[in-house]
Amino acid sequence: MEQKESLWTKDFILICLANMIMFISFYLLLPTLPVFVIDVLKGDKSKVGYIIGILSLTAVLVRPVSGYMLDTLSRKKVLLVALLAFILSMAAYNFVTGLTLLLVLRALHGFSWGFTTTGAGTIAADVVPPTRRGEGMGYFGLSNTFSMAIGPSLGLFIINKAGFTSLFNACVLTALLGLLFVLPISYKEQITSKDKSIMSLNSFFEAKVFSLSAMIFFIAVVYGGIVSFITIYGKDLGIKNAGTFFLVYALTLLLVRPIAGKTFDKNGPLKIMALGFISISMAFVLLFIAKGNTLFLLSAVSMGIGFGIVHPTAMAMAINRVKPYRRGAANATIMSAFDLGIGLGSIFLGILSDQTGMSYMYLTCSLIILIPLVMFYLIDAREFIKKRETKHHSHK
């Protein structure tokens, strides 16, 4: 029996910890900024959509550049510089006095966020053994999930007990801790990119993962409706701490992601992705009919099952399609699509909820999910089957 390559190396553990801490810093702001916009800066729901969305949209602009730099320079150095910028952005929230200033800061924050997340994901893909990529990237994704289990509820707890200044300071301190975890990472970087000197569109984007990116875009559009409005919707339903949605969602992800990763490595994506899409759609139907805590939290479970399957499976499929020196570009392409979806989704759904009310906005989300489902089975599933058959014939 062949021995499994070791997954839990020092570098893999450090990049998972750094990523988790960085995301905690980010998630502290997720349910609290909508409250800040409405209660402190006196904005309305459509303004919340813009404030949440703008960060994702600026992250989109820098991800292709970050992917190129990660494929041509030292990945660790790029990540360290990005983390410093991220820490400074967090510190600047203390000086925000109006909506325009907040919008500008969120745009600047998005630049550092685009670099840090692409960098961490690319280093993780480097240090995971190829034979355990689905499993390894699943575990790496869990570091985001742990953050989501802790960050939103902690953020709401801090503003209720100590106010927004304490919250923004907590964001700075956690981001600083993330930086300290990156410093000891020491794997030998193999950057063999051919196109160091020639910059082209191909340097920034990876065409092999475009179809997966388009699917991820639509998933992210509806996710924008969760990150921007779930705390406000929870308040409307009379739920005291709507941050519990993120806690339940994250705990479900923790259970689902490792199973989904192993299932993908063993059996491929065909059956498991169907379950993922149906679960996400179901989650939005539950939000539409929710009147209180029970269906609200059941929706979080359904969402956790769906996202715990779809997102890491798509990421693993993308990494498997490209050569090692193109992982930065592949990561950046997929994550750009995700950010673009969240950014446009937050803005579009904010306007929609102003027109129709939030419950109908969530019902619309349950229908939007049908688009990526059809796309996946028309394009990516067919490609997977074709590849599997080719491999099967060549082994004969």
Q: List pLDDT tens digits, range 294-312.
A: 999 999 999 999 999 998 8
Residue 1 resides in a domain:
no
Could you tell me the pLDDT band of residue 24, with boundaries at 50, 70 and 90? very high
What CA–CA distance (Å, rounded) separates 172 from 182?
16
Would residue 216 count as lying in a domain? yes
Answer yes or no: is 38 within a domain.
yes
Q: Fill in the DSSP letter of residue 260.
A: H
**Residues present in the chain in total:** 396
Tokens of 273: 């992705």
pLDDT confidence of residue 369: 96
Contacts 24+ apart (CB under 8 A), 77-82: 78/115, 78/119, 79/115, 79/116, 79/119, 79/120, 79/123, 79/182, 80/179, 80/182, 80/183, 81/115, 82/112, 82/115, 82/116, 82/119
- The percentage of the chain sitting over the pLDDT mark of 70, rounded to a whole number, equals 94
What's the pLDDT band for 62 if we cut at 50, 70, 90? confident
Give residue 28's pLDDT.
Answer: 93
DSSP string, 92-135: HGGG--SHHHHHHHHHHHHHHHHHHHHHHHHHHHHHS-GGGHHH
Residue 169: domain span: 10-186+203-395
Q: Residue 197: its pLDDT value, please? A: 47
Measure the CA–CA gap between 300 and 394, rounded to whole angstroms: 44
Whether 175 maps to a domain, the answer reads yes
140 located within any domain: yes
Residue 394 banded pLDDT, cuts 50, 70, 90: low
Model pLDDT for residues 116-142, shown as the tens digit of each residue: 998 998 899 888 888 887 778 878 887
Using the CB atoms, write b or e for 318-342: b if 16+ within 10 Å: bbbbbeeebbbbbbbbbbbbbbbbb
pLDDT at 1 over 50: no
Q: Helix H segments across the chain?
A: 10-27, 32-35, 45-72, 75-92, 99-127, 133-161, 164-182, 201-204, 210-236, 244-267, 270-289, 293-320, 327-356, 358-368, 370-375, 381-395
Stronger pLDDT, 156 or 265, i.e. the higher one: 156
C-alpha–C-alpha distance, residues 363 and 368, integer Å: 9
Task: With beta carbons less than 8 A apart as the criterion, state whether 315 and 193 touch.
Answer: no
CATH of the domain at 224: 1.20.1250.20
The answer to whether position 195 is within a domain reads: no
What pLDDT band is residue 71 in, cutting at 50, 70 and 90? confident
Comparing 190 with 274, the larger pLDDT belongs to: 274
Q: Is residue 296 part of a domain?
A: yes
pLDDT at 370 over 50: yes
Is the pLDDT higher at 216 or at 241?
Answer: 216
Please give the share of the chain, as a percent, with pLDDT higher than 90. Answer: 46
What does pTM read for this prediction?
A: 0.80
**Comparing 23 with 65, which gets the higher pLDDT?**
23
- Does any domain span residue 303? yes
- The single-letter DSSP state of residue 269 is S
**For range 26-40, the mean pLDDT:** 89
Q: What is the pLDDT of residues 296-355, one digit of tens each?
A: 999 999 999 999 999 888 888 888 888 887 877 887 788 889 889 988 999 999 899 888
Higher pLDDT, 272 or 284: 284
Residue with tokens 């019902």: 363
Residue 377 DSSP label: I
Tens-place pLDDT, residues 200-215: 666 667 888 999 999 9
Give the count of domains, the chain: 1
